[in-house]
Structure 1
Amino acid sequence: MNLLDMVREAGIVGAGGAGFPTHAKLASKAEYILLNGAECEPLLRVDQQLMELFADEIINGFTAAGKFVGANKAIIGIKGKHKKVISILRDRIEALQVADFVQVKEIPDIYPAGDEQVLVHELTGRVVPEAGIPIQVGCVVLNSETALNIYYASIQKPVTQKYITVAGDVPRSLTVKVPVGTPIIDVLKLSGIENFDNYKVIDGGPMMGPVMNSLDGYVTKKNKGFVILKKDHYLIRKKSVSLEQAKRVNKSACAQCRMCTDLCPRYLLGHEMQPHKIMRALNYKLTDIENQKIAQLCCQCNLCELFSCPAGLHPKSANLYFKDKLAQQNIRYKPNKSEFTARKSREYRLIPSKRLIARLGLNNFDKPAPMTEIELKPELVYISTNQHVGVPAVPIVSVGDHVEIGQQIGKIPEGSLGASVHASISGKVVEIENDFIGIRRG
């Protein structure tokens, strides 16, 4: 098998975002391969620690992927503040004798440095077209944990574990490795909190992660972290506002100051994403479809809603409203040009992470979440067959079967975009329904 086949068989998906199947990325030819080590979401600490603890494996996986896609250069993007990690990576690149191909490039401590399109610009100077993807400017982008999983795939080890940061208003912030399919509540309790009646949990980072309605879920390959905050925290209250509430507030108070647009990362890259125009269209019930279409350029970084707006309004919610409305009508934005240049004002409008953390009311919780050796051994795991972009995996086991850890239990449907799934514990298959495969240990 070549590397692409190994990655496909291992069930590797983007480890820090939507879960796009990695084998589909490696099927392209690119000039650059980029490693996204920015981890720009406040409080999350997975990638920076993986790059320190597994530098050789990540470099080897990243190098192999870069060679496979035919890249001329492989660039690791990491914030300049991570001096120790940068030193380790550069030393190991030299020791592994790949310095002619792989380099480390320091990026500023800004949000959202980890946005794929922002990262491409910071590392290559290129701008991904509107509604486009990095391969359109010759780039393939991988997450640090994804590169680690590519290395493991090369030695026939599929994805069965996930690294997760647990942080926030908790006695103990930490980063742990747990089996895919572990009950989320078991992971949350590692924080030292047993009773969550007075808390809410954000699934992912404080900026883009949604507030969880229930804690009854199970860990997937996409989970990156859980941020635990008191129910009355500003961030929880802000994220809990419904779309209808947001629309009412927007209409009553938007002064069209355009701060949401002036600080929008995609607007600053030269795109036509202008949240203030979307607010105008929503508040005044404007019917011009062309002006509504730009909502589809929103990357949902949430800067407009959680940082930029001086009145604390909800521009991102307005974007999502029109995104959904246009999707229902099968209307898509079409760029009117193919090449873009970042706006000259961009360098003066980048948002420092420390300032963002202060605005979110997270200063007291911005502390290390050290990698901790805790062996969670859930008696029952529920592995989603739909934890990735594309169609669900097709179960290839039956209730009553005994499976071993690492055994493939769901495969990609023929001719479809998807990802295979594997048993994360050894035991008996006890349930196959509702896009889940349940395995009981033993």
Structure 2
Amino acid sequence: MSLLDRVKESGIIGAGGAGFPTHVKLAANAEYILLNGAECEPLLRVDQQLMELYPDEVIKGFAAAGRLVGAHKALLGIKGKHKEVIAILKKRIETLQLGDFVEVKELKDMYPAGDEQVLVYELTGRVVPPAGIPIQVGCVVINTETALNVYHASENKPVTEKYITVAGDVPKRLTVKVPVGTPIIDVLRLSGIENFDDYAVIDGGPMMGPVMDNLDGYVTKKTKGLLILKKQHNLIKRKTTTMDQARRINKTCEQCRMCTDLCPRYLLGHNLQPHKMVRVTNYGLEDIEDQKMALLCSQCNLCTMFSCPIGIYPKHANMMVREKLVQKKIRYSTKQTEFEARKNREFRLVPSKRLIAKLGLYHFDQPAPMTDITVDPEVVHIARRQHVGAPAVPVVSLGDHVEAGQLIGKIPENSLGATIHASISGTVIEINDTFIAIRRD
């Protein structure tokens, strides 16, 4: 079986973003493969520790992925502040005799360094076209945990576990490996908090992660971080603002255009101008052609959480316009073929420390060390759709006994998707449209 087939059979997806199936990415032909080790969301600590603790596995998986796409060079992007990790990576690359192929490239400590298109520009100097993807400029991007999983696939080990940072306003900050399908509440309690009545939990990073409606969910292959904050924290209040509330607050917009001037995609040369989308929603403007720029938003949330001096919600305005365009099946297109970053970009990058302070997270920006704590849930609920594409089709039945690592869901015929595997050994006790539940032996 080829490595690409093993990646497909192992159910590998993007481990920290939308969850795009990795076997599809690695079926492309590219000049560069890029490793996204930026982990630019404040307080998350998974990738930097994986590179420190498992450098050989990450490097080998990354290099193997690079060979699959026919890359001439594999560029490993990591923030320059992680000096010890960088030293380890450089030493191991030379020891593994991969120095002619794999190269460590240092990134600025800014947000959003891990945005796929920002990363491509920082590492290669190439600008991905608006509404485009990295392969259009000869690049394929995977993240650190995905590279680790590619290595595991080469050893015939499917994705059954997930690394998660638990951080925020908690007694214990930590990073832990848990079985896919573990109840979220079991992971949250590792923080030292038992009663969450006064707390809210962000699923992911503080900028792009949503506030969870309830804590009854389960870990998926995409779960990256769980940030616990008091419900009265300003970040929680802003992230739970409704569209109607944002629409009213946005009436106070001063049209200073700071949201546009600091927009990462605008600075890459894209025609995305959040202040104009606020204008559209405030005044009911109807020029659809000009509104198409809303489709270029990466939803990094910088405009709302940092840039605006009076605290309105440009991202919400952008999403209002975007939703209207999607409903009408309107897409963005451009006849332009060459793009350049704006000349003032380097002077408008947002330092991570300033962002953390603005978010009110300064006191929580502490280490979350990897632990060897074992989480052994009695029952796991493995989502059939924890990836971009169609839900996995069950290949097990109620009452079946399964072993950890056994295939329990396959990709539907002629569809985009990813396989799923049992994360514990036990008995299948429920199968529905959403998940497959397994009770531990």
Fold conserved between structures, TM > 0.5:
yes
- In structure 2, the partner of 1:332 is 331
Could you tell me which amino acid in structure 2 is paired with residue 26 of structure 1? L
Shift of 1:435: 1.5
> Residue in 1 aligned with 2:54?
54
How far 1:295 sits from its partner (Å)?
0.5
Partner secondary structure for residue 285 of structure 2: coil
- Map of 1:69-218 to 2, 5 A cutoff? 69-218=69-218
Per-residue CA distance 1:34-85 (angstroms, 9 max, x = gap): 0000000000000000000000000000001101110000000000000000
TM-score for the superposition, normalised by structure 2? 1.00
Whether the 8 Å contact between 2:400 and 2:428 is mirrored in structure 1 is yes
Cα pair 1:131 1:335 within 8 Å, conserved: no
Does residue 25 (structure 1) correspond to residue 22 (structure 2)? The answer is no
The reply on whether 1:376 has 2:375 as its aligned counterpart is: yes
The CA distance in 2 between the partners of 1:103 and 1:28, in whole Å, is 21
SS in 2 for 1:356: helix
Partner of 2:350: 351
Correspondence for 2:439:
440
- Provide Cα deviations, 1:94-133, integer angstroms capped at 9, x if missing partner: 0000000000010100000000000000000000000000
2 CA distance for matches of 1:64 and 1:272? Answer: 36
**Structure 2 letter corresponding to 1:320:** M
The reply to whether residue 303 of structure 1 matches residue 302 of structure 2 is yes
> Secondary structure, in 3 states, of the residue corresponding to 1:354?
helix
Determine the C-alpha separation between the residues in 2 that align with 1:186 and 1:164.
12
Amino acid at match of 1:32: Y
- Distance in 1, Cα, partners of 2:218 & 2:188: 11
Contact preservation (8 Å) 1:42, 1:353: yes
User: Which amino acid letter does the alignment assign opposite residue 438 of structure 2?
Assistant: I
Shift of 1:336: 2.9
Contact 1:278–1:291 (8 Å) recurs in 2: no
Post-superposition Cα deviations, 1:246-275, rounded to whole Å, max 9, x if no partner, equal 011102x00111000000000000000100
Deviation string for 1:305-334 (max 9, x for gaps)?
Answer: 000000100011111111111111111111
Q: 2:343 is aligned with what amino acid? A: K
Residue in structure 1 matched with residue 364 of structure 2 by the alignment: 365
CA contact (8 A) 1:113 1:119 kept: yes
1:279 aligns with 2:278: yes
Q: Give the secondary-structure state (helix, strand or coil) at the position aligned to 2:381.
A: strand
Decide whether the 8 Å contact of 1:43 with 1:205 is kept in 2: yes
Tell me the SS of whatever aligns to 1:157. coil
Q: Which residue of structure 1 lines up, in the alignment, with residue 243 of structure 2?
A: 243
Residue 315 in structure 1 maps to residue 314 in structure 2:
yes
Q: Distance in 2 between matches of 1:171 and 1:340?
A: 48
Structure 2, gaps ≥5 residues long = none
| Partners of 2:160 and 2:12 in 1: CA distance | 10
Q: Does the Cα contact within 8 Å between 2:384 and 2:433 map onto a contact in 1?
A: no
CA distance in 2, matches of 1:26, 1:265: 27
Q: Which residue in 1 is equivalent to 2:232? A: 232
Partner letter of residue 172 of structure 1?
Answer: K
Structure 2 counterpart SS, 1:226: strand
Distance 2:4 2:281 in 1: 45
> Is residue 394 from structure 1 mapped to residue 393 from structure 2 by the alignment?
yes
What amino acid is the match of 1:131? A
Tell me the CA shift for residue 338 of structure 1.
2.1
Q: Secondary structure at the match of 2:290?
A: helix
Q: Does the 8 Å CA contact 1:250/1:314 hold for their aligned counterparts?
A: yes
What is the distance in 1 between the residues matched to 2:173 and 2:210?
20
**Root-mean-square deviation (CA), in Å?**
0.5
Kindly provide the amino acid, as one letter, of the partner of residue 364 in structure 1. H
Residue aligning to 2:257: 258
Residue 406 of structure 2 corresponds to 407
**Residues of 2 paired with 1:337 and 1:373: CA distance?**
52
SS of match in other structure, 1:339: coil
Q: Tell me if 1:419 matches 2:413.
A: no
SS at match of 1:15: coil
Residues 203, 226 of structure 2: 8 Å contact kept: yes
Partner Cα distance (1:185, 1:434) in 2: 22
Distance in 1 (CA, whole Å) between partners of 2:337 and 2:175 is 42
Among all aligned residue pairs of Structure 1 and Structure 2, give the percentage whose two residues are the same amino acid.
Answer: 72
Matched residue count: 441
Deviations 1:8-46 (CA, angstroms, capped at 9, x unpaired): 000000001000000000010000000000000000000
- Asked whether the equivalents of residues 165 and 224 of structure 2 are also in contact (C-alpha less than 8 Å), the reply is yes
Looking at structure 1, the residues matched to 433 and 396 of structure 2 have their Cα atoms a distance apart, in angstroms, of 15
Q: Which runs of 4+ in 1 moved over 2 A?
A: none
- 1:291, distance to aligned residue in structure 2 (A): 1.5
CA distance in 1, matches of 2:91, 2:78: 15
**Structure 2 letter corresponding to 1:54:** Y
Name the structure 1 match of 2:10.
Answer: 10
Shift of 1:434: 3.0
Distance across 2 between alignment mates of 1:433 and 1:335: 43
The alignment's TM-score, normalised by the length of structure 1, stands at: 0.99
